[in-house]
Homo-oligomer: A and B are copies of this chain.
Amino acid sequence: MSKRIQKRDATLSKQRIITHAVELFSQKGYASASMDELARRSDLNKAMVFYYFKNKKGLYEAVMREVLLEIQKSILEENKNYNTPQEELESFIRTYAKFAFTHPYLPSLLLKELSDSGAVIHEMLFISMRQLFALFCDILKRGEEKGCFREVQPMVVYFMVLGTLNLMVTTHSLRLKASQLDDIKVDTCANCSSEEIAAYVLDNIERIIHKEISQ
């Protein structure tokens, strides 16, 4: 009920909605995210959501576009700093890991979508995801041509990277809880830092794709 203090500012209002929507969708999922609650969180009238994004699906697509473009940008930009396939691969994995751990809504939103073959937004997610995958494939191919990587099934290796990193993020609280119980003693990597996890995933992937193995 708090009266708006700020002046009118379309782009700012729009951004407020997106920002809170990213959080809300990643916390509750598409179906359980309520537009009433979003309006409350954003401290804006609900009609504004529909004024700017037409409907819930439109908002969700805008959210996914934002998030996917952001990670894509990070990886592509970081990639420029390297020029051997090995370095590029390392950069890809480290950058994704860093982003995923500092922006945990990304793994949450991504896994929610992928657990349902792109239930809500097939088309767009799809294109953006494919571009990232295409870069990954390109790195692998150039590594192969250079003779430093062996031939692998890129899709499987890609999911080994993304699937693992995403799950390590989304299960963080679950793994912490598991480590505190002591009926079964298992190491759930509960206190590993994102850098440790990234380094570990990277090491494993290198063992999979490198031709000469330094044991």
Interface residues of A (CB under 8 A from B): 27-29, 31-32, 107-108, 111-112, 114-119, 122, 126, 130-131, 133-134, 137, 152-157, 159-160, 162-164, 166-168, 170-175, 177-178, 184, 186-189, 192, 197, 200-201, 204, 207-208, 211-213, 215
Contact = CB atoms under 8 A, between A and B. Distances in A.
A139 B198 CA distance: 24
Contact of A208 (B156, B188, B207): B207
Given A31-B32, A130-B178, A114 B114 contact: no
Given A156-B200, A159-B164, A186 B112 contact: no
B117 A115 contact: no
Contacts of A31: 28-29, 31-32
The secondary-structure label for the interface of chain A is helix
Contact of A186 (B107, B108, B133, B208): B133
Contacts of A177: 122, 126
Contacts of A167: 114, 159, 162-163
B118 A174 contact: yes
Contacts of A114: 111, 167, 170-171, 174
Given A115-B166, A117-B170, A130-B178, 20 more contacts: A29-B29, A29-B116, A31-B31, A114-B167, A114-B171, A117-B172, A133-B186, A134-B184, A153-B200, A155-B188, A156-B164, A156-B189, A156-B201, A156-B204, A159-B164, A160-B160, A160-B164, A162-B167, A163-B163, A211-B215
A215 to B, nearest CB: 7
B155 A187 contact: yes
B116 A170 contact: yes
22 contacts: A27-B116, A28-B31, A29-B116, A31-B32, A107-B115, A108-B116, A112-B115, A115-B166, A115-B170, A122-B174, A130-B178, A130-B186, A131-B184, A154-B187, A155-B168, A155-B186, A156-B200, A160-B160, A160-B201, A160-B204, A163-B167, A208-B208
Q: Which of A154, A162, A188, A192 has the most CB of B within 10 A?
A: A188
